[in-house]
Amino acid sequence: MECNQAPREHMDVCLDKDEIDKIGVPCRMSAYFDLLNSAYTGDLDRFKRLASCYDKRGEGLAMTIQHLLDGDGRGSFAFAAAGGRVNVCRYLLEELNLDVDVKDDEGVTPLSHGAVKGHLNTVEYLLEMGANPDGSNDPDSTTNTPLHYAVLGGDREIQTLLLSKGIRINVATRSGTALSYGQTDAVKVLLDHHADPNVVLFGVVTPLTSAMLINSLPIMDLLLKAGADPNAKSCGFAPLIYAVLCALEGMTAVEIAAREGNGEVVGILFPVTTCVRTYPNWTIGGLMEHVHSVAGKKKKVSKVSDQMPIAEHGTVNLAAKGDAYVVVVSDGIISRKVGGFVNNQPTIGKLYFNGIRFFDFKGEDLYFT
């Protein structure tokens, strides 16, 4: 992967402005940095000169430019959109006839690159030129849509513009639906456009549980008012975009909040949650006491031992929250480090644990020996 960030299939949602600004910036180590950076900065004359220099075989500028990609499969069009350079986008589309929906290695189109950076003029131009506002017509696609990226970027005008195009608002990817992105203003916009608050995220949980996990009380309130079901049970593993929590299977949002010791969230959810009859004392105090009792702890799946052989090598980050922990994979050994994050650059990617299995960044099992 290139040294600067590219929009990914699985995104972290609580990014600040500085982190957003780093997305889509050309990497200086790229073999074609000079060309890609001229597209990103909008220096069209320099871009044309460099493209001509690279066209040594006489294939034509359009063919040459399409072949000059960085390590993530991003070309000049993606960087022009990420930089908000309509002049370069216009040249690529109207003079060289490039595909307006060309995808990088993650399946991300220029429209998404422009949306996440908040470039309204670029987004408007690309839509006028026929860009697919959904990013793909494939109903089974797990790639985040331009709406996901617009919500991540936080530009309300872009979000509203995309929604006006009749896009599929409830697309659930491994990053969840757009509702799962933890931004209150965006959640308001989405719910006003009839986003479904009860969509079960791709293999994970509901938007309500996601909001609870990031302790967003305003979003929880919005979702509940919009009809989010507090009795929906989580299954599998928690949203990869938020945290790693063990043994969530079969638990309602209020049970998870109680186990996390979040009394304020429990107070909101408890009155609207149907009684769970397995608890001997269905009160807020009884629930909080039970989930932290010996009986409650026995329900949890036993966690990985301090050291366990693993087939892969390298350093892996595992997000830590609650009973989860950080692990380091080194020389084939996985070692637990409680209560923090490993800051080493990962060579495999993030590792996720659901109390039973470990998953890599793409949600695939890591098999132990």
**Same-domain pairing of 75 and 130:** yes
Residue 252 forms part of a structural domain:
yes
CATH code, domain with 164 = 1.25.40.20
**Same-domain pairing of 294 and 307:** no
Residue 284 forms part of a structural domain:
yes
Rounded Cα gap, residues 75 and 47, in angstroms:
12
Rounded Cα gap, residues 323 and 259, in angstroms:
10
pLDDT band at 330 (very low <50, low <70, confident <90, very high): very low
**Same-domain pairing of 237 and 285:** yes
Tell me the pLDDT tens digit for each residue of 43-90: 999 999 999 999 988 999 999 999 999 999 999 999 999 999 999 999
Residue for token pair 């080194």: 330
Lowest mean pLDDT among 3-17, 116-130, 144-158: 3-17
**Same-domain pairing of 155 and 198:** no
Residue 277 forms part of a structural domain:
yes
**Same-domain pairing of 130 and 215:** no
Residue 265 forms part of a structural domain:
yes
Cβ neighbours of 43 (radius 10 Å): 16
Cβ neighbours of 251 (radius 10 Å): 21
**Same-domain pairing of 188 and 322:** no
Cβ neighbours of 230 (radius 10 Å): 21
pLDDT band at 16 (very low <50, low <70, confident <90, very high): low
Number of domains in the chain: 3
Residue 175 forms part of a structural domain:
no
Cβ neighbours of 278 (radius 10 Å): 10
φ/ψ bin of 135: left (φ > 0), alpha (ψ from -120 to 50), beta (otherwise): left
**Same-domain pairing of 267 and 337:** no
**Same-domain pairing of 41 and 101:** yes
Residue 176 forms part of a structural domain:
no
**Domain carrying residue 88:** 1-168
pLDDT band at 267 (very low <50, low <70, confident <90, very high): confident
Tell me the pLDDT tens digit for each residue of 227-250: 998 887 654 333 322 333 333 446
Domain boundary, last residue among 251, 271, 300: 300
Chain mean pLDDT for the chain? 74
Contacts of 33 (CB under 8 A, 6+ apart): 26, 27
**Same-domain pairing of 74 and 55:** yes
The DSSP secondary structure of 128-161, one letter per residue, reads HTT--TTS---TT--SPPHHHHHHHHT-HHHHHH
Q: Are 323 and 339 in contact (CB under 8 A)?
A: no
Query: Which residue type does 151 have?
Result: V
**Three-class HEC string of 34-85:** HHHHHHHHCCHHHHHHHHHHHCCCCCCHHHHHHHCCCCCCCCHHHHHHHCCC
Rounded Cα gap, residues 248 and 204, in angstroms:
10
Tell me the pLDDT tens digit for each residue of 180-231: 776 889 999 999 999 999 887 644 567 887 787 777 888 888 999 999 988 8
**Same-domain pairing of 32 and 121:** yes
Residue 216 forms part of a structural domain:
yes
Residue 215 forms part of a structural domain:
yes
Domain boundary, last residue among 262, 283, 300: 300
Statement: residue 357 has pLDDT above 60: no
Rounded Cα gap, residues 179 and 214, in angstroms:
13
**Same-domain pairing of 16 and 131:** yes
pTM: 0.69
Domain boundary, last residue among 135, 168, 201: 168
**Same-domain pairing of 198 and 71:** no
Nearest to residue 199, comparing CAs of 214, 224, 180? 180
